[in-house]
Structure 1
């Protein structure tokens, strides 16, 4: 036979043909089990409230279709009998199918929003609650506790603390305490307030009573569809119907990144229902999701005029129960995700998700037509727009990413941070300079030009005359991301160097063994249990007896809930993946998940970890408003700025990080998608790479070719180094980010890293600087001469505004700000 293996040679010793096995479409997910404490099961009372929030805007959505033919209209007897199955997603699905071939144009969403009448539709306190028989005391969130906390779910100490703050007796049984709090709310509160905002008074930002909550419903203030769906989610977080409706509302408002985030969560809940392989991997989520949908239908199961069961309530009593309703929800979710990814120009993700459901379930032709037709219509559009990403201006890790515009306001962002205010500028100086323990001298301050407004560009100015060569500023990174490089095992000479996670000092190879012994012996002053994990995190010992160790420093500043957890999956989501050659124990690289634009994920984890720790003192602190991020630029500074977006980097991986840290991504909307996107944008505009090699002039790598496994095994490690992640040590220096750029030779200062503490950043003067003169540094290496417009904005976070002899073609190496 022609295909028989050669004699005397095992067929199985050969690896599969190069690229014969396609890599997974998305990075690996963690094996989560009991990390998250889910909310209590939904009560009948809460289910009625949640359905009321959802049904009012959903009914209006259906009415806005008018007399137009419905996509889900029955065409035969079988479909007539199947109509009740569409009850939970019918209006969203019918709306989606009106224009399903191409995504919504961002430029005309407001006109279409007005045409639909949804922009003018709002509901007041009376519209929602009057005559419904709701227990207002139980449904109103307690303003003194965590967002989304209902009285029925509060524990004894929470009830007592809340009653004490209200100057009410706090003794008695749990039932008595709850009733006392409900009675007080009925007497004093005819309002519904949710999503409390951060207290930023220490930054000079005063949020009055109306600004303390993102959503407030009273008789005088009404809310629109988006807020209504959000309130439904807060009451019943495990109902994929509510997440789908809010996703489509976000899509209608051209908030495509938020639409993807909501639809992704709806998809996770649906997968728990339909996929038996994951049903028990997070105990309790399956039963809560099933019960949320069941209670949603039962909350209004009879026709009030006839007393008869609605068809969907009758269907609920059939053998498949809730499963009857899931297929329509899944198909609507799939269309929202596909259209949103296309609008964001995430073409690779778009093609993967567009085909996903077709491969997972059998659908009738009517439901398959949108996917088939859209594919044909979009092909020429994709070819035209995707060609722009073939230019060499993009680093490899962004080649796959779509674009999200940075100056678009998110609905729940308070938009009240005036960076030009005296109080804000003074606080920035206090936090970044006066309280900077690494900076014994104070030679600069934060400054803003008089007469500027909230989109002002802050700067650093000298507070005294500075001589040439003087150290001006020193900063240790409060937010850090250290990616463990994966090297093919070919001897000790190619093993990654072990470094201290706190200061990046190199550690001897024998240190890992000694370190493990210290952990086993309980000597945790200089050690951390993370050394024994699959990806070891090490800390160096104290230089002198009595000095603070790096482990102690880390545990005091950033190493909190993340400590002790297995984060190998997170590192694998942004680095090359290996496989073993058949018939041997040799490894080779198959693909890299860096292409999913996930390189900010480790910094994102640290921000989540720090936020959760600080919430022990400030329970309403939002992650994008911690001190280290609040001082940075925001949407006011991002006019016409585009930020990378991928499904994995902006949605999947951030949600998985939160769940591994114990956050309920369905219930806790303080980590909603918009918060994550704001954090990622701030990081994109301000991160700095530590890697010393990136300080040298090199060619931008925008493509990485993975050679066949047998070929890789013959190449020296230096030849394979091109497959390493573009950045494997990234830092955020909030103070350094306020030094503005100037193209050489107009810069009067420069920067680098401390040779004694490798990740401590230094800024020093190049020439004498007079008092009150702005200190400007060059972000580029002096030899760089090919910086494009796109990479310039990536480094500076905005177009160059130094006013100097800007060379149109220069290439950045010094920073990825």
Structure 2
């Protein structure tokens, strides 16, 4: 006891900047939120390996001479070759050209040269001779009209064959076999990933479009679909996630490659990091089991009949962990190259050095990272310098660029926004059924632009006088960030607002309601009020007699209710520590720089989707009504979207898991779905704070001073470190009003003084029937709007013909 240091020494924080900020935002402490899929059966393991092995074998055959990185140079390395079995072909392919990433312009030729673009596998190619009953996958081929073929009499067999225009001659055994063969021929079908039912939008998806992947003898699938099918059968095998990540990389879907490789990395970390094995019970055993069953699924080489040597390694002390190092090296190379291709330079350098700090690697394995760093450094320096301009908000400065003009592989290209049924449905949902809009003076209309660009707009359905209210909307998707303020003077209770309407609430509201909430006595509040980041609602009914809590529970406050979301707020705002010697808080760094701006709105989209799936089980998150009406890839031909590892991959996956979603097994929330949601939000969100709607308020630098200096900083200067946007809303109807630079706009907009986040649009001058209603996005008193600020704030090119059209080309509009 005498050798123990004083307790105060343990609690003393390090000096300012003595410890570097963590490379990525905090993650939630998850435990039993997710219900994992059952352990893999032997039959399923064989199916999954078959899906993976066919394209992986072709990948290996297309290599030619084996690259130097996995080529054995001595007996010890030759003996260890089986340890590379699960990632050998991907790693060797990566090492052929590892110094610079694929470019958006050269991937297609390389994809063709590899021969993978022409590879496809039919039902017969995949399933024949695999030792499992086709009846487990499709309609039972041994039944006709509910009766077993084996139990049918001779005359029944002849009558059935005659109805099928087949010969009914022969023995009973021949008749039975002929009927079975015909059944198998017609019902050999494997389909997965059902799509949303959008018939209410006039989008009819027939049998060929109801599933993203369908395998028959007539419709074969390529490598990407094969890897996806392997994942669906065996979701906890990092080998399959790695192979699909590399396939996405080869096709220049770099954001999707990062998402797949990140999930593979999570599974590998569960295997190699003992501290993670009990954090989410069941994930470790399922990952180990998936890899073990993968290796055991095919014990002998079909060409030689000899046992595979990896089986001997599997039986030794480290089991499947022998195979993990090569998988981890391949994962890191996929992530690094993809981040470089996306120009996420800060994330790139963090991930480039990550694995060398976690495991011992020989020089030959370290060489790709070291060589790539040297080759890329001049390019990174040039591109980074070019981006340090006032054109970008602070939260975008760290982000890379993902192109918006390419449609993701599983995104159905059947949503025609110009179709009459689609436009009529948009009018019905946004205007006719809008409870906040008792009068109907406008409708959704289609503007046909150049290059087949379909742009929706709002037009008047009757003459409108100057000063009339035209449109009213309550936000269905919202994000309220809890600001962290450094205490000045006596510590006071933080300001509370109603999460539903944004009205101020008394500090006593939290105190008075907290105990009642715990006992379940107050229906106007919920247990969220007692969390570290409290969510509160107005205690009294509104003018319509409805409480804000009831409104929230009906529209958006579902599975997210009652969970601790402090980690999510911390992933978006400045972080604090205690300044040594002063016992005062100071800002150490801000996680806003990770481009996590949209995380709270993303959570609401997930929450709404999960709730609506109770009545529509196949609903996809990017196709909920509020998002489906918005513009999509067809409108993003010249647009880039911000991308960071934290904002686009890590935080979205953590949100899903906290909501109980298995990010490995549930591909309805695959990476491409997340990216589409984030892009739709990026193009259409509206900030609530009036000052932040002024383009002159674009801030692209936030310097955090030393801790001691912060103690005497004026409150105004400290407030400059607040997140750029802390109350964001999506108004789907308002998003369809197109922008017009003054004086071309005939309407303007603002917030209702009674319900603070209810948005109003009113006319500035008389508007004739069938005239398009255009609003100015910016505050009318701001005369410093330029094409640069238009480019950063609005959603698509301004085509109003206003004064800014003659300046540097803008890139945006509020609607569309």
- Counterpart in 2 of 1:684? 682
Q: Distance in 1 between matches of 2:531 and 2:811?
A: 36
- Counterpart in 1 of 2:322? 324
Equivalent in 628, 631, 634 of residue 633 of structure 1: 631
Cα distance 1:121–1:787, how it changes in 2: closer, same or farther (>3 A)? Answer: farther
Q: Distance in 1 between matches of 2:190 and 2:766?
A: 59
Equivalent in 49, 53, 56 of residue 54 of structure 2: 56
Which 5+ residue runs of structure 2 have no aligned equivalent? 1-7, 141-179
Q: Distance in 2 between matches of 1:780 and 1:640?
A: 23
Kindly state the Cα deviation for residue 134 of structure 1 after the two structures are TM-superposed: 2.1
SS in 2 for 1:460: strand
- Counterpart in 1 of 2:202? 204
Structure 1, 306-315 or 522-531: larger mean CA deviation: 306-315
Cα distance 1:218–1:601, how it changes in 2: closer, same or farther (>3 A)? Answer: same
- Counterpart in 1 of 2:670? 672
Tell me the matched-pair count: 769
SS in 2 for 1:577: strand
Kindly state the Cα deviation for residue 227 of structure 1 after the two structures are TM-superposed: 0.2
Kindly state the Cα deviation for residue 342 of structure 1 after the two structures are TM-superposed: 0.1
Q: Distance in 1 between matches of 2:614 and 2:704?
A: 47
Kindly state the Cα deviation for residue 585 of structure 1 after the two structures are TM-superposed: 3.2
Kindly state the Cα deviation for residue 786 of structure 1 after the two structures are TM-superposed: 4.5
Equivalent in 288, 291, 295 of residue 290 of structure 1: 288
Q: Distance in 2 between matches of 1:593 and 1:140?
A: 49
- Counterpart in 2 of 1:580? 578
Q: Distance in 2 between matches of 1:796 and 1:723?
A: 23
Cα distance 1:141–1:481, how it changes in 2: closer, same or farther (>3 A)? Answer: farther
Q: Is the 8 A contact 1:485 1:496 kept in 2?
A: no
- Counterpart in 1 of 2:548? 550
Q: Is the 8 A contact 2:791 2:811 kept in 1?
A: no
- Counterpart in 2 of 1:177? none
Equivalent in 689, 704, 707 of residue 705 of structure 2: 707
- Counterpart in 2 of 1:745? 743
Cα distance 1:725–1:72, how it changes in 2: closer, same or farther (>3 A)? Answer: same
C-alpha distance after superposition, 1:589-619 (max 9, x if no partner):
1000000000100000000000000000000
Alignment of structure 1 residues 103-502 onto 2, 5 Å: 103-139=101-137, 189-304=187-302, 307-449=305-447, 455-491=453-489, 496-502=494-500
Cα distance 1:553–1:204, how it changes in 2: closer, same or farther (>3 A)? Answer: same
Q: Confirm or deny that 1:728 pairs with 2:726.
A: yes
Cα distance 1:697–1:401, how it changes in 2: closer, same or farther (>3 A)? Answer: closer
Q: Is the 8 A contact 2:541 2:548 kept in 1?
A: no
Structure 1, 472-481 or 483-492: larger mean CA deviation: 483-492
Q: Confirm or deny that 1:75 pairs with 2:73.
A: yes
Q: Distance in 2 between matches of 1:331 and 1:451?
A: 48
SS in 2 for 1:324: helix
Q: Distance in 2 between matches of 1:284 and 1:532?
A: 31
Kindly state the Cα deviation for residue 132 of structure 1 after the two structures are TM-superposed: 1.9
Kindly state the Cα deviation for residue 496 of structure 1 after the two structures are TM-superposed: 3.9
Kindly state the Cα deviation for residue 800 of structure 1 after the two structures are TM-superposed: 1.2
Q: Is the 8 A contact 1:397 1:597 kept in 2?
A: yes
SS in 2 for 1:579: strand
Equivalent in 770, 773, 778 of residue 775 of structure 1: 773
Q: Confirm or deny that 1:508 pairs with 2:506.
A: yes
Q: Distance in 1 between matches of 2:562 and 2:181?
A: 45
Cα distance 1:790–1:231, how it changes in 2: closer, same or farther (>3 A)? Answer: farther
Q: Distance in 1 between matches of 2:785 and 2:240?
A: 46
C-alpha distance after superposition, 1:467-513 (max 9, x if no partner):
00000000000000000000112246876421000010111111111
Kindly state the Cα deviation for residue 515 of structure 1 after the two structures are TM-superposed: 2.0
Q: Distance in 1 between matches of 2:270 and 2:815?
A: 39
Q: Is the 8 A contact 2:788 2:808 kept in 1?
A: no
SS in 2 for 1:323: helix
SS in 2 for 1:42: coil
Q: Is the 8 A contact 1:688 1:816 kept in 2?
A: no
C-alpha distance after superposition, 1:695-721 (max 9, x if no partner):
456432111111111111112322200
Q: Distance in 1 between matches of 2:200 and 2:542?
A: 37
Q: Is the 8 A contact 2:734 2:815 kept in 1?
A: no
Return the TM-score normalized by structure 1: 0.91
Kindly state the Cα deviation for residue 133 of structure 1 after the two structures are TM-superposed: 2.1
Q: Distance in 1 between matches of 2:231 and 2:253?
A: 18
Equivalent in 735, 760, 763 of residue 761 of structure 2: 763
Alignment of structure 1 residues 3-14 onto 2, 5 Å: none
Q: Is the 8 A contact 2:739 2:814 kept in 1?
A: no
- Counterpart in 2 of 1:642? 640
Q: Is the 8 A contact 1:696 1:813 kept in 2?
A: no
Which 5+ residue runs of structure 1 have no aligned equivalent? 1-9, 143-181
Q: Distance in 1 between matches of 2:694 and 2:614?
A: 43
Alignment of structure 1 residues 21-40 onto 2, 5 Å: 21-40=19-38
Cα distance 1:662–1:12, how it changes in 2: closer, same or farther (>3 A)? Answer: closer
